[in-house]
Amino acid sequence: MKHGGVIIGLVVLGAFAALGFSALVGSMTPYVHFEEARQSRRIVQTPGMIDKATVRNTAQGLEFDLYDEKGDRLHVVYAGPKPGNFDQARGVVAIGRFQDGVFHARKLLVKCPSKYQGGFDHPGGPSSASR
């Protein structure tokens, strides 16, 4: 009978470990490129460079375009206060979900400007073209 209690204890411990691991994996936010962000139904993190010509303060928050090294663009709507160092930043990681043709960010992680000294040198970079 003593061995039965140990076995039951190990089974219960294993079940809790599996449940904890599952919760940890489920709470992680994947880091993806723009195209993957558009396809995903989950909350994701997507990095990009800020097109300063597209930044607009709105009654709801902040809107701007991000671009990547391939020239792909992603329109971002953020319904929160503008991060303190947003105006000096060149890049951000937007955390949120793509819906109705727009990436709805619930959080912005502003990247240190020194990390992007070179930026991207390509035609898909910042533009004055309106959306």
Each residue of 73-117: pLDDT tens digit? 999 999 999 998 999 999 999 999 999 999 999 999 997 766 545
What is the predicted pLDDT for the residue at 129? Answer: 44
- Stronger pLDDT, 17 or 101, i.e. the higher one: 101
Phi then psi for 23, rounded to 5 degrees?
-65, -40
| pLDDT tens digits, 108-129 | 999 776 654 555 444 444 444 4
**pLDDT higher than threshold 60 for residue 9:** yes
Asked if residue 21 has pLDDT above 70, the reply is no
User: Residue 34 in contact with residue 48, Cβ under 8 Å?
Assistant: yes
Q: Where are the beta strands (DSSP E) in 1-131?
A: 44-57, 62-67, 73-78, 91-99, 102-110
